[in-house]
Amino acid sequence: QVQLVESGGGLVQPGGSLRLSCAASGRTFSSAAMGWFRQAPGKEREFAAGISRSGVSVYYADSVKGRFTISRDNAKNTVYLQMNSLKPEDTAVYYCAADPIFRVPVSSSPRDYDYWGQGTQVTVSS
């Protein structure tokens, strides 16, 4: 079992960048796929990016592809989400999550993720 804590959110202007971090505790981190999800007020939680346990395979929602980059450092038990060219529609609470079950490809469904962080707010506004 893992515990996840996100950080790095904040207020940024359109076109700006943020780097989110998710620090994990627990010995299962390196064997779990990791995902970043986001949830805007009044909307369902949606997949943004995912990464396999090795970090070799990455997957992105069409809405963020080309702008966001997910990565992980298993030695530091940390997963990152580099967000560039941010748009107002990126405004949401961003959650990292862990899926300990092997899936090919990495799942984009929040129902497949067993462990969740508390979320970090990202607001993109001028």
For residues 84 and 95, what is the distance between their CA atoms, to the nearest angstrom?
A: 17
Q: So what's the pLDDT on residue 61?
A: 98
Tokens of 69: 């980059």
Q: So what's the pLDDT on residue 29?
A: 78
For residues 9 and 121, what is the distance between their CA atoms, to the nearest angstrom?
A: 5
Q: So what's the pLDDT on residue 119?
A: 98
Per-chain mean pLDDT for the chain: 95
pLDDT (tens digit, 9 = 90+) per residue, 7-60? 999 999 999 999 999 999 877 678 899 999 999 999 999 999 999 999 999 999
pLDDT (tens digit, 9 = 90+) per residue, 63-118? 999 999 999 998 999 999 999 999 999 999 999 999 999 899 999 999 999 999 99
